């Protein structure tokens, strides 16, 4: 503190002399000039005393305030640096996740395409099996229809042959032939 006073005291003395010289120059000397000088001196002395008292009373508080303020600012800067570092780490994590998201999207797309291909192959295979079953069923139905048609045709042919034979027999038979057939039938029945 004494060093500060040693530094400030020459400045104060210089200011006092400058003020005296301005006051003397303005008054031009004489008794009124001396009154003005002593008024000025008292004012300067009062000012110096006031400043010394203020310095004595407030110096520690002001110094403490500025030290605390300096520490607070240093702490805020430290917190800001820490927050910046944390933000950079989070940013790097997010960038890495974004890179992984693109890879994950490609993986998912590949998996979906694989599933689509396997589903397509399964549907095609099911279609082939169903088509084969339909073809087999159609062949069996066609075979059954052919068998039925052959049977119906045989029955129809037999019926037509019977009708034709009975028609031919009826047309070619004479009353004597009818009598002879009747007698042969009766003889067979009687035996």
pLDDT of residue 24: 61
**Alpha helices (runs of H) in 28-174, residue ranges in sequence order:** 30-172
Distances (CA, A) of 178 to 182, 185, 189: 6, 11, 17
The radius of gyration computed from the CA coordinates of the chain, to the nearest angstrom, equals: 68
**Dihedral pair phi/psi, residue 66, rounded to 5°:** -70, -35
pLDDT in tens, 49-103: 888 888 788 888 888 898 999 999 999 999 999 999 999 999 988 888 888 887 8
Nearby residues of 27 by Cβ (< 8 Å), 6 or more positions away: 33, 36, 37
Question: pTM, whole model, 2 decimals?
Answer: 0.35
> Which tokens is 116 given?
């689509």
pLDDT in tens, 159-181: 887 777 777 777 777 777 778 87
pLDDT-derived band at 30 (thresholds 50, 70, 90) equals low
């Amino acid at each position: 503190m004494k060093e500060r006073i040693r530094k400030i005291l020459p400045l104060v003395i210089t200011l006092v002399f400058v003020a005296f010289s301005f006051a003397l120059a303005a008054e031009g000397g004489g008794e009124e000039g001396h009154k003005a000088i002593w008024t000025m001196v008292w004012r300067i002395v009062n000012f110096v005393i006031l400043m010394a008292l203020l310095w004595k009373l407030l110096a520690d508080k002001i110094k403490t305030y500025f030290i605390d303020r300096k520490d607070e600012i240093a702490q805020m800067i430290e917190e800001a640096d820490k927050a910046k570092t944390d933000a950079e780490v989070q940013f790097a994590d997010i960038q890495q996740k974004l890179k992984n998201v693109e890879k994950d999207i490609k993986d998912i797309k590949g998996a979906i395409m694989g599933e689509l291909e396997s589903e397509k192959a399964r549907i095609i295979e099911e279609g082939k099996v169903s088509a084969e079953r339909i073809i087999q069923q159609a062949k069996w139905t066609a075979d059954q229809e052919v068998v039925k048609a052959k049977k119906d045709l045989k029955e129809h042919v037999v019926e037509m042959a019977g009708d034709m034979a009975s028609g031919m027999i009826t047309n070619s038979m004479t009353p004597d032939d009818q009598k002879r057939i009747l007698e042969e039938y009766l003889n067979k029945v009687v035996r």
